[in-house]
């Protein structure tokens, strides 16, 4: 009887801890990042500027290194402000001009920043003259 009681209490305790551990921290902040790529440095490297809106409102410069693979692009994008920088990985479809992004690391104020979301891309002729492309990223960030 004691053994059964101990076992039931153990199961109850493990269940309680498991449920409490799965509780989501609701500190995610909605964000939109618009990056305007103005200069083609190399065939697969672009530089430009960015602005964010939403719960995190910053602006600065960016550099993107794109690796093209058929109809897909795998990009590393680093956005820099006076307070630090953060780097994102992006997987995109060149067919429908959409993709997904997530933050891989950061420095300074953004050292603990995490985030993920979706993106859309515009390229010539769907952008103003002199612009190489415009990316609009939407999603959530946390940990800033």
54-109 pLDDT, tens digit each: 988 999 999 999 999 999 999 999 999 999 999 999 999 999 999 999 999 999 99
Higher pLDDT, residue 14 or 106:
106
pLDDT for residue 26: 60
Domain spans of the chain, in order of start:
37-142
Cα–Cα distance measured from residue 142 to residue 28, given in angstroms and rounded to the nearest whole number: 5
Total-model pTM: 0.79
Q: What is the pLDDT of residues 34-60, one digit of tens each?
A: 999 999 998 889 999 999 999 889 999
């Amino acid at each position: 009887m004691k053994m059964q009681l101990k076992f039931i209490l153990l199961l109850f305790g493990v269940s309680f801890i498991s449920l409490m551990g799965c509780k989501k921290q609701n500190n995610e902040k909605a964000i939109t990042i618009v990056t305007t790529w103005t200069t083609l440095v190399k065939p697969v490297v672009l530089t430009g500027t960015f602005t964010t809106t939403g719960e995190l409102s910053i602006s600065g410069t960016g550099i993107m290194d794109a690796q093209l693979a058929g109809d897909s692009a795998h990009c590393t994008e680093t956005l820099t402000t006076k307070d630090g920088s953060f780097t994102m990985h992006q997987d995109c479809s060149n067919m429908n001009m959409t993709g997904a992004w997530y933050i891989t690391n950061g420095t300074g104020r953004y050292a603990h920043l995490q985030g993920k979301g979706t993106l859309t891309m515009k390229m010539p002729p769907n952008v103003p003259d002199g612009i190489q492309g415009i990316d609009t990223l939407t999603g959530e960030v946390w940990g800033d």
